[in-house]
Amino acid sequence: MNLKRIEDITSQILAKFDSNELPVPIRKIAEDLGIKIHSYDLGENISGVLVIKNDQGIIGVNPTEQLVRQRFTIAHELGHFVLHKNSNESIFVDKDYKVLFRDQQSSTGENRREQEANAFAASILMPRKLLIEQIENHFTDLTDENAVKGLAKMFNVSVIAMTIRISNLRLF
């Protein structure tokens, strides 16, 4: 699945929400799509799980991790639910997503799904349109580290996630 298609899917979900709200209300969006979210201490390095049973999704998120991480995890698991529900697997277990970013070179099916879920998470938490609007309206200088930190705070994501997003959208 190409990135453009993933951007289209997240735009459609956000449009249904009529949400220009920042930060993006990711828990509310997931719950409205019929997903239950529970906090589970999943152990070190496990950020989240998604269990799909009879078409219903349950996301387990590790409450010991930072809030920005938990938001990214929910968005990532929601990505699996939306994009990969029809694949054979019904359980997804996700490690610390920084590990996943590092592993992106691999082209196995599993890694492709992880990349897609990460792309979904980035594009729903940092919608292209809203991000560009913020940058243009505030004449944000993206070479300024503090400006990028400010954007990360506004979208309630980590600075690394924001930096990757800006770079992928070629906004630098």
Of 7 and 114, CB closest to Zn ion = 114
For Zn ion, the binding residues in 128-157 under the rule CB under 5 A are none
Is 147 in contact with 140 (CB distance < 8 Å)?
Answer: yes
The answer to the question of residue 125 lying near Zn ion (CB under 5 A) is: no
CB-side neighbour CA atoms (13 Å) of 134: 22
Q: Which two tokens stand for residue 104?
A: 């992106």
Question: Among 94, 125, 152, 161, which residue sits at the site for Zn ion (rule: CB under 5 A)?
Answer: 94
CB of 46 to Zn ion, least distance (A): 11
Of 148 and 165, CB closest to Zn ion = 165
Q: What is the DSSP letter of 18?
A: T
The answer to the question of residue 116 lying near Zn ion (CB under 5 A) is: no
The answer to the question of residue 117 lying near Zn ion (CB under 5 A) is: yes
Of 74 and 117, CB closest to Zn ion = 117
Of 7 and 94, CB closest to Zn ion = 94
The answer to the question of residue 161 lying near Zn ion (CB under 5 A) is: no
CB of 171 to Zn ion, least distance (A): 26
Of 65 and 114, CB closest to Zn ion = 114
Candidates 9-17, 81-89, 115-123, 153-161: pick the segment binding Zn ion (CB under 5 A).
Answer: 115-123
Q: Which two tokens stand for residue 156?
A: 């309630």
Distance CA(141)–CA(63), nearest Å, equals 34
Is 125 in contact with 71 (CB distance < 8 Å)?
Answer: yes
- DSSP for 47-114 reads EEEEEEETTEEEEEE-TTS-HHHHHHHHHHHHHHHHHHTTSS--EEEEE-HHHHHHTTT--SHHHHHH
Candidates 17-25, 34-42, 113-121, 139-147: pick the segment binding Zn ion (CB under 5 A).
Answer: 113-121
Is 116 in contact with 83 (CB distance < 8 Å)?
Answer: yes
Q: Which residues sit at the interface with Zn ion, rule CB under 5 A?
A: 94, 114, 117
